[in-house]
């Protein structure tokens, strides 16, 4: 049994991870901004700290902790209100992360697991998958802040005994998935025709069960120390294939119109939606062979099974709210 502190424990990833670690018999201390989305029965200790980029007295929160899993972050903002988005991302994702890392090192924490982003590698792939050997090429403010946090943590850990593990996931899905995944399910459920029938890209995803499993391996595996791992289901899918699979899972066949990708890209640029078109139209593939080889880790849930579970949870929620 390890004593584990998890920041952002009431988020999408955090809740799944808390359940998994409790099942494994670990002591879980949840560190969250506000007391919602997580009950005291889900964890051993629940600590509400407010905003993580505000002054936090970490010493008591990290006392007796073996492993810190840092999930809390300022994620992609659909309607950005900050006049300086990069500074806003850095305040939470870089500066607050490094303060936590420094406090963890001082508290004698043995291992620090940091959930970063595949955006550190870049926004798209062409003909080959991203790997941990690629030169980082973050483009968005979010990805830049995560990359700077990675660099700062590795430098910090090089000056002490705390071990660092960095995990870069692509799009995460699963029951209760928020953001773009929920939006896609809403489109399908409403029967909205989508002009994506001719999109033949390849994208890697990671199911929440698979990501929680990889993080669990990384808290104790000796060979994980000092490493960066890319996460994924090990099976890539095009946007049109993904929509068809999800539509079949919720019993609402995807209504896909085969418009050329070049036309969609042009339209997205005109509407100021280039970021959305990149996520829907471009390829982003990840190579998870390092985790397989070094950690003997294999995703326990296949892509189609994970999508079925996600769709089932979505439909149950819709029926309960109707």
The two three-digit tokens of residue 119, written as one number:
């955006």
SS3 6: strand
* Residue found by looking up tokens 């005994």 in the block: 161
Pairing of strands 67-70, 111-115: parallel
Q: What is the DSSP string of 104-167?
A: HHHTT-SEEEEE--GGGT-S--SSS-B-TTSPP---SHHHHHHHHHHHHHHHHHHTSS-EEEEE
Sign of torsion over alpha carbons 79, 84, 85, 91: negative
Dig out the tokens for 33 from the structure: 């901004």
- What 8-state DSSP symbol labels residue 284? B
173 is annotated as an active-site residue? no
Q: What are phi and psi of 161, to 5 degrees?
A: -105, -5
Q: Distance between CA atoms of 273 and 278, rounded to whole angstroms?
A: 9
Q: What is the DSSP string of 32-64?
A: ESSS-S--GGGSSEEEE-S-TTS---HHHHTTT
**236 contacts 284 by C-beta, under 8 angstroms:** no
Kindly calculate the radius of gyration of the chain based on its CA atoms and give it in whole angstroms.
Answer: 20
CB hemisphere CA count around 247 (13 angstroms): 18
Please identify which of the residues 12, 58, 89, 142 carries the catalytic annotation. 142
Matching residue, tokens 């199911």 = 207
Residues with catalytic function: 142
């Amino acid at each position: 049994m390890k004593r584990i502190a998890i920041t952002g424990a009431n988020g999408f990833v955090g809740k799944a991870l808390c359940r998994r670690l409790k099942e494994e018999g670990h002591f879980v201390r949840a560190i969250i901004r506000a007391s919602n989305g997580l009950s005291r029965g889900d964890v051993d200790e629940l600590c509400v700290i407010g905003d993580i980029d505000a002054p936090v007295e970490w010493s008591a929160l990290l006392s007796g902790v073996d492993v810190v899993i840092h999930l809390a972050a300022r994620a992609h903002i659909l309607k950005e209100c900050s006049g300086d988005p990069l500074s806003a991302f850095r305040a939470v994702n870089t500066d607050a992360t490094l303060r936590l890392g420094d406090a963890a090192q001082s508290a004698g924490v043995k291992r620090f697991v940091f959930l970063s982003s595949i955006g550190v590698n870049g926004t798209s792939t062409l003909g080959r998958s991203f790997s941990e050997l690629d030169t980082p090429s973050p483009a968005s403010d979010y990805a830049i802040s995560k990359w700077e946090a990675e660099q700062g943590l590795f430098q910090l850990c090089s000056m002490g005994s705390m071990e660092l593990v960095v995990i870069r996931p692509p799009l995460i899905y699963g029951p209760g998935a928020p953001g773009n995944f929920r939006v896609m399910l809403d489109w399908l459920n409403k029967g909205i025709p989508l002009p994506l029938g001719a999109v033949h890209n390849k994208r890697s995803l990671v199911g929440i069960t698979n990501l929680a499993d990889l993080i669990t391996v990384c808290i104790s595996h000796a060979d994980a120390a000092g490493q960066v791992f890319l996460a994924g289901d090990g099976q890539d899918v095009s946007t049109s294939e993904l929509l068809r699979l999800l539509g079949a899972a919720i019993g609402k066949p995807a209504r896909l119109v085969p418009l050329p990708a070049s036309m969609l890209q042009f339209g997205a640029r005109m509407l100021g939606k280039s970021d959305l078109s990149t996520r829907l139209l471009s390829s982003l593939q990840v190579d998870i062979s390092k985790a397989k080889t070094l950690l003997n880790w294999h995703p326990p849930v296949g892509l189609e099974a994970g999508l079925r579970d996600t769709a089932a949870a979505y439909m149950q929620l819709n029926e309960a709210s109707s």
